[in-house]
Structure 1
Amino acid sequence: MKKILLFLILSNLIYSQDRREIGNLIMEDVPEIPQEVEDRSRQYRNTRSASCRSWLRDGSGMIIGTRFGETSQLHIVKQSMGTRSQITFFEEPVSGGNSCPDPNSNGFLFSKDIGGSEFYQIYYFDLNSGESAMLTDGESRNGLGPWSNGGKSFAFTSNMGNGIDMNIYVGDLDGNHTPLVQEKGYWFPRSWSPDDSKLLVGKYVSINESYVYIVDVKSGRMAQFNPKDEKISYGGAAFSKNGKGIYYSSDERTEFRHLRYYDLIQDRHTMLTGHIPWDVQGFSQSDNGRYLAYLTNEDAISRLHVVRTTGFKEMKIPELPVGRIGGLDFSPDGSRLAVNLNAPRTPGDVYVLNLRNRSLIQWTQSEVGGLDTESFSKPELIHVNSFDGLDVPGFIYKPTGPGPHPLVVYIHGGPESQFRPSFSSLIQYWVKELGVAVLATNVRGSSGFGKTYVQLDNGYKREHSVKDIGAFLDWIGDQSDLDQERIAVFGGSYGGYMVLASMTHYNDRLRCAVDVVGISNFVSFLKNTKAYRRD
């Protein structure tokens, strides 16, 4: 079957000599896609996932995001495997879904743009009336931030000041927005103090340099948190629920971002995860302050930890499948923790960890297009030695059968990003339907492997990351079940640039290359892109 599909595609490619225009798309000598391929691939394209956006204020259920039709919309789920009641019906995908903590309000914040413009606006949805209202100016680019603890206001980031700098504003449900931080650069809100008098804010410079400030909401006075001479990369930062300290993650004096606690009264910093040699990628506190959950990124695989804040003692919890975890959100009473779990054989779904009996219950079960996902390929973690002896990781997906299999080298964007083994219908289609192996790489410059690793492709070292692709090609040549005569490279954005560079350096070792919106000319890119993208 796989050989027949490949024959149909190759035959059309050889004998097609036509020009077709579909809207703005012009195709020359591109073959028609066989109907059989289109029908089968549609099943893979129609898989969907679900994610928890927030618990309802009273804990009676949660707001989730999932796709029905063409775009992701918001729904309410009241119980495990319960009915998904859709509450937003827009043509554009909807982000957010943050429930208002004010007991006198019954609604949530969300954001969306128009026509893919990326000028996201913030809205409030009233669950009593079913109506929504825009709270921002309708023209600028805005990003959701946290509600105040009282629920009367919320913080957000916006470039409404000058169209370039992302500054911080405080908004309310009447559509008023007051400037709080008006400085050059990219600023964003992090956490309100328990009494809502102060706001933790962040300033992002690069993946290796960021800052945290404490802002007095009434006066606007701002003081830098933990000022140091060295450049520090901060992850999350939040006031403790009792207001006596600040939890934060940073790579200060360490290779990885560790979770730390700053005691405001004793002026003392304590590292909490020094025993784990990996990045802490996110954390969340229960409203009662008793529990804290955090995630570590261990060789691109997520690990969930839950601790009691008194003594920071880790609790035993059920082992979660290997994959990607996110969306940590405690229920209002602190007894349950919602997590989003995405694994290679299952699309993203919501699970709830009961902290009283330590049970893990699946709340959503997303559709997979009628596919048998148990037959999907599980990725294997590999490492190669690059030209300078550097250890470079990647994940290999292999079809069933002895091979030798053709192979796609998959290069992620960023470059300060990371390939992680989660559900990918595209990769699984290639592997199962076309019999193509996929090698997903995390070349130098990828995040998640320490602050040294992420800087190894900076400046004139940029093409060292391209040489890492050469090391993967060498590894492929040593595998008897992989066909080194049939190798393709595939990537988007920065990964697209890497595809073009790989074509230049390894043209004689590649049979195919696919560049998706990759940068081929940095001058024209910087000239034509939006101002907020220029750094």
Structure 2
Amino acid sequence: MERAYPSDIWEVDLRSIQAQRLTQHFRSPVVESGLIEPVPVMYKSFDNLSIPAFFYKPKNASGKLPVIVYLHGGPESQSRAVYNPFLQYLLSRGYAVCTPNVRGSTGYGKSFTHLDDVRKRMDSVKDLVSLTEWLKSEGGADPGKIAIVGGSYGGFLVLAAVSHYPDLWAAGIDIVGISSIRNYLESTAPWRRKLREAEYGTIEKDGVFFDKIDPLNFAERIICPLMVVHGANDPRVPIEESERIVKRLKDRNHPVTYLRFEDEGHTFAKRENKKGVRRYG
């Protein structure tokens, strides 16, 4: 397994295949010793499919744990056991973290990658429902303290989970996520639409299905507090995807925190903006 440490530069001697570390991202052994590596786990989903995940427990954990479910984007991407400063921060604050690779993720064969295509979209959300059951029975999770966080497509999964299965979640954070596949395909750049239609389907053929699953259409079901974060210059997921659902929630006085960054895009690169998100979190 890859080490859950920050990236550094290494030199490899090709004759001896020995590696030497040339840089030290963390020079303090106290800091490095505080980093936590995950345990790979597998759990059964609603249809008996095995779903892989990585589970991190905070040091000296005891009793029932608050847990953060952290979702990758893509959708055809993969959570890996690599250093992530955000996850290490959460662990330092006493939260357990689980990073599932729900169906549709890469790295587990082509069949697995296509298990969430088009009309199978909500099966990946059901994988998250099964994950909460595993967390409570095997992961020591406090049933009332399971939160969900994700960006981009992971943000869509967050919104789908908290709107279609609202009773499971204590809080949610949607980062540059899609609130309506229909609206997203209508408003994203043409080059992006063509690419995404192979995964999501088309409005012409699948529009009625989109209407049945789009979180925006079920915003009134959301009961947990929600944070929504988006960059105004996002070229992939238009910022309107966040602003529409924020408006729906505010119109009914639902607790929602909205962070809009005028100088960011699909990811947050500026240190001050990252600190701003952490202050609210």
TM-score w.r.t. the length of structure 1 is 0.35
Higher relative helix content: 2
Shift of the 480–412 alpha-carbon distance from structure 1 to 2, 3 Å rule, reads closer
Distance 2:36 2:16 in 1: 33
Q: What secondary structure sits across from 2:46 in the alignment?
A: coil
Once the two structures are TM-superposed, the CA of residue 417 in structure 1 deviates from its matched residue by: 0.2
- Residue 133 of structure 2, aligned match among 474, 486, 502: 474
Alignment of 1:340-351 (within 5 A): 343-344=3-4, 346-351=5-10
Q: Which residue of 1 aligns with 2:78?
A: 418
> Residues 71-115 of structure 1, C-alpha deviation per residue, up to 9 Å, x if partnerless?
xxxxxxxxxxxxxxxxxxxxxxxxxxxxxxxxxxxxxxxxxxxxx
Q: Post-superposition shift, 1:422?
A: 0.5
CA 1:452 to 1:505, structure 2 compared with 1: closer, same or farther past 3 Å? same
Matched, 1:385 2:44: yes
Q: Is the 8 A contact 1:347 1:368 kept in 2?
A: no
1:349 counterpart SS class? coil
- Provide the residue aligned with 2:24 in structure 1: 365
Partner Cα separation in structure 1 for residue 161 and residue 78 of structure 2? 19
CA contact (8 A) 2:26 2:32 kept: no
Q: Is the 8 A contact 1:447 1:453 kept in 2?
A: yes
Which residue, out of 145, 161, 171, partners 1:486?
A: 145
Aligned to 1:408: 68
**Range moving further from structure 2, 441-450 or 521-530:** 521-530
The answer (yes or no) to whether the contact 1:414–1:493 under 8 Å persists in 2 is yes
Single out whichever of 410-419 and 356-365 deviates more from structure 2: 356-365
Map 1:489-528 onto structure 2 (within 5 A): 489-528=148-187
2:269 is matched with none
Aligned residue for 2:254?
Answer: none
Q: CA deviation at 1:367?
A: 4.1
Larger radius of gyration: 1
In the TM superposition, residue 449 of structure 1 has moved relative to its aligned partner by: 0.2
Q: Which amino acid aligns with 1:485?
A: G
Q: Return the alpha-carbon distance in structure 1 between the equivalents of residues 161 and 28 of structure 2.
A: 35
The corresponding residue for 2:197 is: none
Contact 2:45–2:127 (Cα < 8 Å) also in 1: yes
Q: Deviations over 1:433-483 (max 9, x none)?
A: x20000001000000000100010111111011110011011011036321
Return the alpha-carbon distance in structure 2 between the equivalents of residues 369 and 493 of structure 1: 34
Match of 1:532 in 2: 191
Equivalent residue pairs, number? 193
State the alpha-carbon separation in 1 of the partners of residues 36 and 137 from structure 2: 21
Pick from 397, 415, 440: which aligns with 2:56?
397
Amino acid at match of 2:21: Q
Matched letter for residue 100 of structure 2: T
CA change 1:453–1:424 in 2 (3 A) is same
Identity of aligned residues (%): 38
The equivalent of 1:430 in structure 2 is: 90
Contact residue 485 and residue 510 of structure 1 kept, 8 A: yes
Of the three residues 454, 461, 464, the one matched with 2:123 is: 464
Which consecutive residues of structure 2, in runs of 5 or more, have no partner in the other structure?
195-281
The 2-side partners of 1:529 and 1:371 are apart by: 46
| CA separation of 1:480 and 1:389: change in aligned 2, threshold 3 A | closer
1:420 is aligned with what amino acid? R
Structural mapping, 1:65-464, within 5 Å: 322-323=1-2, 343-344=3-4, 346-367=5-26, 372-400=31-59, 401-432=61-92, 434-464=93-123
RMSD of aligned alpha carbons: 1.7
- Secondary structure of the corresponding residue to residue 461 of structure 1: helix
Extract unaligned runs of 5+ from structure 1: 1-321, 324-342
Shift of 1:533: 1.2
Q: Secondary structure at the match of 1:347?
A: coil
Judged with a 3 Å threshold, the aligned counterparts in structure 2 of structure 1 residues 439 and 480 are, in CA distance, closer, same or farther, namely: closer
Quote the Cα distance in structure 1 between the aligned partners of 2:40 and 2:152: 24
1:366-403 deviation line (CA, Å, top 9, x unaligned): 24789612122110000001111101000001012213
CA distance in 1, matches of 2:139, 2:18: 44
CA distance in 1, matches of 2:130, 2:27: 35
Does the C-alpha gap of structure 1 residues 351 and 469 become closer, same or farther in structure 2, counting only changes over 3 Å? Answer: same
Partners in 2 of 1:534 and 1:371 — Cα distance? Answer: 47
Q: Structure 2-normalised TM-score?
A: 0.65
Contact 1:349 1:363 (C-alpha < 8 Å) held by counterparts? yes
How big is each residue's C-alpha offset from its partner over 1:177-227, in whole Å with a ceiling of 9 and x where there is no partner? xxxxxxxxxxxxxxxxxxxxxxxxxxxxxxxxxxxxxxxxxxxxxxxxxxx
CA–CA distance in structure 2, aligned partners of residues 358 and 409 of structure 1: 38
Q: Residue 351 and residue 384 in structure 1: after superposition, are their counterparts in 2 closer, same or farther (change >3 A)? A: same
**How far, CA to CA, are the matches of 1:487 and 1:369 in structure 2?**
32
Whose strand proportion is higher, 1 or 2? Answer: 1
